[in-house]
Amino acid sequence: MIRSFILFISLILFNFWFGFNFYPLRGFTFLKDKEVELNIKENKAAGTISVYRVDIKEPILIQHAKADFRPYIHPISSPDGKGMLTEYSPGHHKHQTGLYWGFTRVNGRDYFHNPSGDYWKKVSSRVLEAAGKEVKWQTVYDLLDEKGNKVLTETQNWSMRANDEKFFLELEWKGEAKTDITIGKYDYGGLFLRMPWREGIKGEVVNAARQRNEKAEGQSAMWVDAGMQVEGRDDLAHIAIFDHPQNKGYPQTWRVDNQFGIGTARSRNGDWKINKGETEVIKHQLVVYTGKLNDLELTDMWRDYTGEKSMYSTVALWAIAQKEGREAKFLTPQQAAEAMTIKDGFKVNVWAAEPMMTQPMAFCWDDKGRLWIAENKDYESRGYG
C-alpha cells in the first residue's frame, strides 16, 4: 500500500534491507535449444485440432471447432503431464468451456453465456503449420444476431511452442465488424480461462502488481496468473495470461471470480466500439507451467513477448500503485511494520517515522545519529519542482 509505505519509508530496515535481492533489467530468453517438436492432428468430422509432443501419445491440447458451438480449447495438460489445467462446463458455471473467447454485450447480445449455434456459426478451421518447434492453427466464426444475421466475424490465430517446463500459447484475435458494433459496459467479457476448481482446493490468482485473489478482481495489470493444485499434483499448476501494449485499453482490466476463473475485462471501464468494416486486433500470450510462482521471471517473459525491454517497460504499474495508494487504509508506523510480508528469519523494527515526508529517494544516518532523507518533489524535465 503506497500510502502506508510513504508513512514509514523512513524506518531503518537494517536487517530487512539485506534481505532484498536487486535484479538488473533483463529479458527472459526462451531456450530454443530445449524446445520440443510438436505436431497437429486434425479430425474434421469431430471438429477438433489436437496438439501432440512427438514423444508423447496423448495430446497436450485440444482445440474444439464445432459447426454450431463457440470455439474453445480443452483440455490443456501440464507440461510434465501431471494433471489437466482446464475444465469444461463446471456445475458452478455451465457456460464456461476451458479456454475461450466471448463478449458479454455485443450490440446488447450476450455471447459469453451463450455458446450455442444460434449465436455462433462456424466459417472454417484449419491447420496453418502442422509440425515443428512451433505449430499454428486458425478458427473463424460468425457471431449472429437475433435474426441470424452476422454482426461480427471472429478469427482466432493460435500458435504454440513447448519445452519440458513450459508451454507458450500465442493468440491473435481479430474481430471484423459487419455492422457498427458496441461492446457494452460489463464486468467481464473477452478471453477467459476456467481451471478445474473444487471447494477447498489450494490455489491463488496473482497479477503483475502482486495483488492476490479478490484484490486482483477488476484491477489493471500487464499479466495475471492463476495457480491451482489440480488432481494428480502436490504443487500448483499455473496458467498466466499476458496483455500486449498494442491492445487498446492496455493495461487490461481483469476479471477474477470466486472460483479463480480469470479473463480480460476491457468493457469494465465502459463501452467500446468497432465501426462497420473495421477490424479490431487483440493479442495475448499464455504461459503454462508448474511449481512456485516467480513474478520477476513472469515479467521477464512478458518483456520477451512484447519486446518491451526498456527501463520504463513496467511504467503501467505506477498508475496501479497510485490507485492502490488512494484506496489504502492509513496505518501507523507500527501497524505498517506488522503488516509487512518479509522473508523467513528477518524482522522489521520501527526506528523513526515522519508522516509529512513525500517521494523519498534515499535515506541514511549520519555520525550524530540523525536520519537524513532525500526527497524528489517532481521531475526536473517538467521545468518546475
How far out from the chain centre does Cα 176 lie?
24
| pLDDT at 318 (0 to 100) | 83
Rounded CA separation 267/339 (Å): 34
Adjacent-strand bridge partners of 171: 158, 284
Calculate ∠ Cα 266-125-167, nearest 5°: 60
Which of 188, 265, 261, 184 minimizes the C-alpha distance to 220? 265
The alpha carbon dihedral of 204, 210, 214, 218 has a sign of negative
Adjacent-strand bridge partners of 143: 120, 152
Rounded CA separation 173/71 (Å): 12
User: Residue 86 is placed in which grid cell?
Assistant: 482446464
Segments of the chain scoring below 50 in pLDDT? 1-30, 385
Give me the amino acid identity at 239.
I
| pLDDT at 354 (0 to 100) | 64
| pLDDT at 203 (0 to 100) | 96
Rounded CA separation 88/103 (Å): 18
Calculate ∠ Cα 225-227-228, nearest 5°: 155
The answer to whether the bond into 360 is cis (omega within 30° of 0) is no
Residue extents of the structural domains in the chain = 2-23+319-382, 32-310
How far out from the chain centre does Cα 18 lie?
31
User: To which residue does cell 485473489 refer?
Assistant: 213
The three-state secondary structure class of 320 is helix
The alpha carbon dihedral of 219, 225, 229, 232 has a sign of positive
State the fold for domain 32-310: Beta-galactosidase; Chain A, domain 5 (2.70.98)
Cβ density class 217-246: b for 16+ within 10 Å, e for less? bebbbbbbbbbbebeebeebbbbbbbbbee
pLDDT tens sequence across 91-141: 888 889 999 999 999 999 999 999 998 999 999 999 999 999 999 999 999
Which of 193, 146, 151 minimizes the C-alpha distance to 175? 151
Give me the amino acid identity at 377.
K
E strand segments, 278-383: 279-290, 360-365, 371-375
144 near 99, Cβ under 8 Å?
A: no
336 near 354, Cβ under 8 Å?
A: no
